[in-house]
Structure 1
Amino acid sequence: MAWNKKTDAKNIIENLLKASVAISSCALLFACGGDSGSSGSPEKVEFVSSVDDLGACSDDLEGDSVFVKDEKSDFVCTKGKWINADSLDSHVQEINKEESSSSVQSDSGESSSSVDKTNSSSSDKESSSSVALSSSSIKDEIEKSSDSHIGESSSSDNTDNILLDSCDGQTYRTVTIGSQTWMAENLNYSVDSSWCYDDDPVNCAAYGRLYSWNAAMEVCPENWHLPTYDEWDSLIKTVGGSESADKTLKSVSGWMIDADGTDTYAFTALPAGIRQGAYENYYGSSHITFFWSASKICDGSYDECTVYEAYGVGWSEWWWTGLNGESGSHVNFTGLTEVNSTNGNSVRCIKGPAKVLSPSVISEVTQGYMTDGRDGQNYKTVTIGSQTWMAENLNYETDSSWCYNDEVSNCASYGRFYSWNAAMTACPKKWHLPTPGEWMDLFEAVGGQHIAAKVLKSTTGWEDDGKGSDAFGFSALPVGGRDFGDYSSIGYNAYFWTSSENGSSYANYICLSYYKDFPGLIDEFKGSGFSVRCLKDVD
């Protein structure tokens, strides 16, 4: 079972206060235990920073318990070894088995080979090593316990599953899920524009800090970074999709309305709540959490984008009264969503350097054609940077696809509209429905997100002077969409499905609008009908 931070937070804070230490900026500091080499009875301590500070488990300390900050657990001195309290029962059972086996051997006359330890120097060494474990032995004992826990609750085969943040000396559990290594606890590094829920430090210890988006972009430890859209999307897909992620990534306790998860992968998503930046208040503890993504939709120099178009990932459980008067309905949410960038959300860092984009560098363009072997239709293509896109909307007929106003001639002009499920399998072989991150890469390649809509929109068809420059030959047409059988927004908006879903009913799409030079990423009901632009697979 994953460690329950909410339950143990108060005890941890109390133990931390007992250690009268000062931590300077970006400096490591470890509390010290008693000198194991001194004479007389060792001084009893209640708190140390790491297992190295425990010292020897001597007879005088038998049964004593010491809290180890780095391991976030009590260790008990038991028969010459410091044992993690969580695994104490199994260790005692093992000792009992050994003693029982030794007793049987003694009864059968096999004890005659034993030597009086008080008269043997070699036996003295053996006795000393059995009582006073070295620091490396203590670490080995802990790593075995940690490996066992991770093996049970995740797909990780990591042995190095503790991250030390060198800026403030705090440690965090990590977990490898698929090909990604994540922090398995919320970041708690104090910077400007970060807060404890309800301004209570106990909540920081329990849930980590809440960060604005700009602050979150800078706080991950060295060689770790804030995850992108695609990295979050990859995690969710690895654990079985958004519906599975809603259960398997959430903690086993703390969520309201019987919404606790199984924490199958030891990711331990806690219901940390959020800070609403516009109102400077806190909301949602015990039923919601949002984690920042590094991806954004437009350049930070635009105030409108800075406020409204940063993105997060969240799990929530809501208690609400529906229009039919039935109370207690649940809304499970796992996926990318639009979040105000001044809000305070949680941060989970992912291992590895962040991807660096250069929006000031305009990519070269190569135009071409491709033929869909399924129906023989030809499509213009455009290579922008490292990506090759269809430069026309897909028009391959499938179930759950439609022509605007149900007129076939509109399919020839505008391509077809697809439900999200149909769009996921509509692209030709060696092409695919792009992820949000692949759309972001396109926007950066054409000069930055703040102008991407302007340069990707077609030069004709847009109302109210909303046309684009079509500088790259992408030719995004304002063909609108289909919603519950009704067609709308032709001349005003272009909607393109992405491969990212939000739960069982919603998925993300890209919106290019007549009145904006920057694109939007929004979610909509999967049964809606939107256009598809296929992206060529990377060889």
Structure 2
Amino acid sequence: MRQLKYIYTAAVFLFLFSCKNTEMVEDLDGNIYHTAKIGKQIWMVENLKVTRFNNGDSIRKFKSNSDWKHVNQAGYSFYNNDTVFIKDYGFLYNYNCLQDVRGIAPKGWRIPTEEDLRELESFVNSNSIGIFLKEKGNSHWLPSDAVGNNATGFTALPGGYRDDEGAFYMLRSNGYYWSTNGSFEFYNWSDRMFQAFADIRRDSVFKRYGFSIKCIKEE
């Protein structure tokens, strides 16, 4: 057991050496995002909370459940329609935002692909990848045995999601992030990262779900 603890501690120090904060990036609304270099990738630390596309057009904010459910348009909301959650968790965007040609990621940044996620997993190279990607401690996460150390600086947070009917779920328990064709998730009780919740190619209903966005820098 002592040897395993030593190996785990050594791995954490290796990450702290390999993963460092780099530049900061600003969106059109003036929000500032820190970044983390993880292997050859650079990720945004904070969740996206921009209200405009890159051409300056406003992204529609859907507050009512009816609009969220029926309007086939790019849009966003925030958990429980309560602004108190924006600072920590950012916005929840529907899939139309990702597909809009006007672009939602800041210039030079993009939505992560499945290939990006595989590269991230390969760099961390651990069955407990979630531990290294989750925010350190339980400031936002519900208590569990799978407490993050955030050695990578990725800072995954449990911002929950909005479903196709407009209801909000899982704040402080689960964190759901968009990829180009689906989502990747973190659960408070698990030390893993999952890619099985929302597969747009399999079920188009997920296009109306609202997930967080964490952008990756273009190479």
TM interval, shorter chain, is 0.7 to 0.9
1:367 matched to which residue of 2? 21
- Figure out how many residues of one structure are paired with residues of the other and give that number: 170
Query: How does 1:166-315 map onto structure 2 within 5 Å?
Result: none
Q: Distance in 2 between matches of 1:406 and 1:369?
A: 31
1:455 matched to which residue of 2? 132
Q: Distance in 2 between matches of 1:437 and 1:464?
A: 31
Structure 1 residue 387 corresponds to structure 2 residue 67: no
Aligned-pair CA distance for 1:511: 1.0
2:87 matched to which residue of 1? 412
1:427 matched to which residue of 2? 105
2:212 matched to which residue of 1? 531
Q: Distance in 2 between matches of 1:429 and 1:497?
A: 18
> What is the letter of the counterpart of residue 121 of structure 2?
F
> What is the letter of the counterpart of residue 480 of structure 1?
G
> What do the CA deviations read for 1:118-158 (whole angstroms, capped 9, x no partner)?
xxxxxxxxxxxxxxxxxxxxxxxxxxxxxxxxxxxxxxxxx
- Indicate if the aligned counterparts of 1:414 and 1:477 stay in contact, CA closer than 8 A: yes
1:7 matched to which residue of 2? none
1:207 matched to which residue of 2? none
> What is the letter of the counterpart of residue 420 of structure 1?
Y
- Indicate if the aligned counterparts of 2:20 and 2:153 stay in contact, CA closer than 8 A: no
Change (3 A) 1:469 1:373: closer
Q: Over aligned residue pairs, what C-alpha RMSD do you find?
A: 1.7
1:473 matched to which residue of 2? 153
Match of 1:488 among 155, 169, 173: 169
Q: Distance in 2 between matches of 1:369 and 1:486?
A: 36
Structure of larger gyration radius: 1
Structure 1 residue 520 corresponds to structure 2 residue 194: yes
Q: Distance in 2 between matches of 1:411 and 1:469?
A: 23
> What is the letter of the counterpart of residue 536 of structure 1?
K
Q: State the secondary structure of the residue aligned to 2:179.
A: strand
Unpaired segments of 5 or more residues in structure 2? 1-13, 52-58, 61-74, 200-205
1:75 matched to which residue of 2? none
Normalized per residue, the structure richer in strand is 1
- Indicate if the aligned counterparts of 2:160 and 2:172 stay in contact, CA closer than 8 A: yes
Q: Distance in 1 between matches of 2:110 and 2:27?
A: 15
1:334 matched to which residue of 2? none
- Indicate if the aligned counterparts of 1:423 and 1:532 stay in contact, CA closer than 8 A: no
Aligned-pair CA distance for 1:409: 2.3
Change (3 A) 1:369 1:377: farther
Q: Distance in 2 between matches of 1:453 and 1:535?
A: 18
Aligned-pair CA distance for 1:423: 3.2
Q: State the secondary structure of the residue aligned to 2:190.
A: coil
Q: State the secondary structure of the residue aligned to 2:117.
A: helix
Aligned-pair CA distance for 1:373: 4.3
Structure 1 residue 440 corresponds to structure 2 residue 118: yes
Q: Distance in 2 between matches of 1:413 and 1:419?
A: 19
Q: State the secondary structure of the residue aligned to 2:116.
A: helix
Aligned-pair CA distance for 1:412: 1.6
Q: Distance in 2 between matches of 1:430 and 1:531?
A: 19
Change (3 A) 1:373 1:521: closer
> How does the TM-score come out when normalised to structure 1?
0.30
- Indicate if the aligned counterparts of 1:369 and 1:378 stay in contact, CA closer than 8 A: no
- Indicate if the aligned counterparts of 2:25 and 2:34 stay in contact, CA closer than 8 A: no
Aligned-pair CA distance for 1:445: 1.2
Q: State the secondary structure of the residue aligned to 1:439.
A: helix
Runs of 4+ residues over 6 Å off in structure 1: none
- Indicate if the aligned counterparts of 1:374 and 1:428 stay in contact, CA closer than 8 A: yes
- Indicate if the aligned counterparts of 2:109 and 2:218 stay in contact, CA closer than 8 A: yes
Change (3 A) 1:493 1:371: same
- Indicate if the aligned counterparts of 1:452 and 1:518 stay in contact, CA closer than 8 A: yes
Q: Distance in 2 between matches of 1:453 and 1:426?
A: 26
Change (3 A) 1:386 1:401: same
Q: Distance in 1 between matches of 2:90 and 2:40?
A: 25
> What do the CA deviations read for 1:208-233 (whole angstroms, capped 9, x no partner)?
xxxxxxxxxxxxxxxxxxxxxxxxxx
Unpaired segments of 5 or more residues in structure 1? 1-360, 501-507
Q: Distance in 1 between matches of 2:107 and 2:213?
A: 15
Change (3 A) 1:373 1:403: closer
Question: Which structure is higher in RCO with an 8 Å CA cutoff and minimum separation 6?
Answer: 2
Query: How does 1:54-203 map onto structure 2 within 5 Å?
Result: none
Q: State the secondary structure of the residue aligned to 1:468.
A: coil
Aligned identity (percent) is 30
Q: Distance in 2 between matches of 1:426 and 1:515?
A: 31
